[in-house]
Amino acid sequence: DTGVSQNPRHKITKRGQNVTFRCDPISEHNRLYWYRQTLGQGPEFLTYFQNEAQLEKSRLLSDRFSAERPKGSFSTLEIQRTEQGDSAMYLCASSPRDRVNEQYFGPGTRLTVT
Amino acid sequence: GQNIDQPTEMTATEGAIVQINCTYQTSGFNGLFWYQQHAGEAPTFLSYNVLDGLEEKGRFSSFLSRSKGYSYLLLKELQMKDSASYLCAVRSPANNDYKLSFGAGTTVTVRA
C-alpha cells in the first residue's frame, strides 16, 4: 500500500475563488471520507462515499461544497466562492471493505483563504 | 448530536505513564477509537473498542465502559516521540455509514 495521497498539500487562494482538492485512497478501499480540521480541534466529518455513491453529507457541507467520486476510486472536493472561514486542513480517509473499523488518513490539504 | 470531551493538555516525564480520559454522549454507539496525530501530520489509528473492557497493544492500552460513556487511553513507558495530540472518536450507527465524530484532542507533551 502506498497510503492515501492528497493533492495539493497546500493551497492559498483569495476569497471568492474556487478551489478543488483531490484524494487518492488506498487501492481497493471502497469507502472514502472527507473531514475538515481547524487548529486545536478534531476532524469534523464532511461527507462519505461507498464506491461511487455519496451516502451522507454533513450539515457543514454548504451548497458551496461539492464532492465526487466518479469511478469509485479517487475523489475530488470543490469549494466555490471561498470564504475566510473555509481556511482549514481538509483530510481524506479510506477504509477497506473487510476492515470497516479502520480509517486510514491522508496527509491533508491545508487551505488558506486570504 | 455528539458530545465528546477530553482534556486539552497533559504533560508527563519520559518513562512515566499517562492516562487520557474521554467521555462521550452520543445518539447511539458503535465503537470508540483513539488516534494519534503529530503536529502537521495526518491522524493514525491506535485502537478500537466496541465492548467493555481493556484492549492492550504494546505500550498503549484502551479501556471502554459503555454504561458510563467513558474511555481512557493509557500510554506506558513514555518516549519523547509520544509527544502528540491524541484524538478520541466515536462511531454512531446511522444509515449504515461509518463516519467518526472526534473530540478536540489532548496534546501530550513528554519531557526528559
Task: Look at residue A56 in the predicted model and tell me its pLDDT.
Answer: 84
pLDDT band at A1 (very low <50, low <70, confident <90, very high): low
Number of neighbours of residue A81 by Cβ within 10 angstroms: 11
- How does pLDDT run across B23-74, given as a tens digit for each residue? 999 877 889 999 999 998 889 999 999 999 999 989 999 999 999 999 999 9
Spatial distance between the Cα atoms of A55 and A100, rounded to a whole number of angstroms? 15
> B103 to chain A: which residues are within 8 Å by CB?
42
More confident residue, A56 or B93: A56
B20: cell is 487520557
Task: Look at residue B81 in the predicted model and tell me its pLDDT.
Answer: 96
Interchain contact B51–A (C-beta under 8 A): no
More confident residue, A101 or A73: A73
* B43 vs A48, A95, A105: nearest CB: A105
Residues whose CB is less than 8 angstroms from the CB of residue B40 and which lie 6 or more positions away in sequence, other chains included: none
Place of cell 457543514: A60
Please give the single-letter amino acid code of residue B66: R
* A48 vs B4, B97, B104: nearest CB: B97
Q: What is the mean pLDDT of residues A7-25?
A: 97
Task: Look at residue B95 in the predicted model and tell me its pLDDT.
Answer: 52
Strands (DSSP E) along A3-113, which ranges? 5-7, 10-13, 19-24, 31-37, 44-50, 53-57, 65-68, 75-79, 88-95, 104-105, 109-113
| Average pLDDT score, chain A | 93
A11: cell is 493551497
Q: At residue B81, what are phi and psi to the nearest 5 degrees?
A: -70, -10
Check pLDDT > 60 for residue A87: yes
Please give the single-letter amino acid code of residue A30: N
Report the residue of chain B nearest A6, measured CA to CA. Answer: B42
Indicate if the alpha-carbon torsion angle B65, B68, B69, B73 is positive or negative: negative
CB contact under 8 A, B98 and A45: no
CA neighbor of B88 nearest in space, from B45, B59, B38: B45
CA neighbor of B87 nearest in space, from B68, B105, B61: B105
Between chain A and chain B, the number of residue pairs with CB atoms below 8 A apart is 56
Spatial distance between the Cα atoms of B65 and B61, rounded to a whole number of angstroms? 14
CB contact under 8 A, B45 and A103: yes
Report the residue of chain A nearest B40, measured CA to CA. Answer: A107
DSSP B22-33: EEEE-SS---EE
* Residue B53, burial from CB neighbour count under 10 angstroms (0-12, 13-18, 19+): exposed
Cα distance from A22 to chain B (closest Cα, Å)? 16
B107: cell is 496534546
- Of A12-16, A26-30, A53-57, B97-101, the range with the lowest mean pLDDT is B97-101
Spatial distance between the Cα atoms of B77 and B82, rounded to a whole number of angstroms? 10
Please give the single-letter amino acid code of residue A5: S
